[in-house]
Amino acid sequence: MIGFLLGNGVPHFVFGAAGKVFRSPFGQKSSPKTNVLWGLSNMAAATIVAGALEALDLHSDYSLPVLLIGFWLAMLMFGTGIKRFLND
């Protein structure tokens, strides 16, 4: 979940920071400000979940590989579908 939240936050934050209009859950043509806030909220949620897992000592030896798998799957989904989003 942490990897997916980070992976989802990156493209929204980057497009918003670059001043580009990009699709978000709030609309097909979301403003850059909306995308920056959505990207930051995803990254904040990932940080909160990671902190909670650490504080409750619920992590395992597999935590980092699972985080990386989630992150790279999100990046793969974004990378393969970006043309569809940009053409809308």
**What percent of the chain shows pLDDT beyond 70?**
95
pLDDT digits (tens, 9 = 90+) for 31-57: 999 999 999 999 999 989 988 888 888
3 state DSSP class of 8: helix
In the chain, the amino acid numbered 74 is A
| For range 55-81, the mean pLDDT | 81
Domain boundaries, the chain: 2-87
> In whole angstroms, what is the distance from residue 22 CA to residue 54 CA?
34
pLDDT of residue 52: 87
In the chain, the amino acid numbered 47 is T
Sign of the CA dihedral with 28 first, then 12, 70, and 54 last: negative
pLDDT of residue 27: 86
- What's the farthest any 2 CA atoms get from each other in the chain? 44
3 state DSSP class of 44: helix
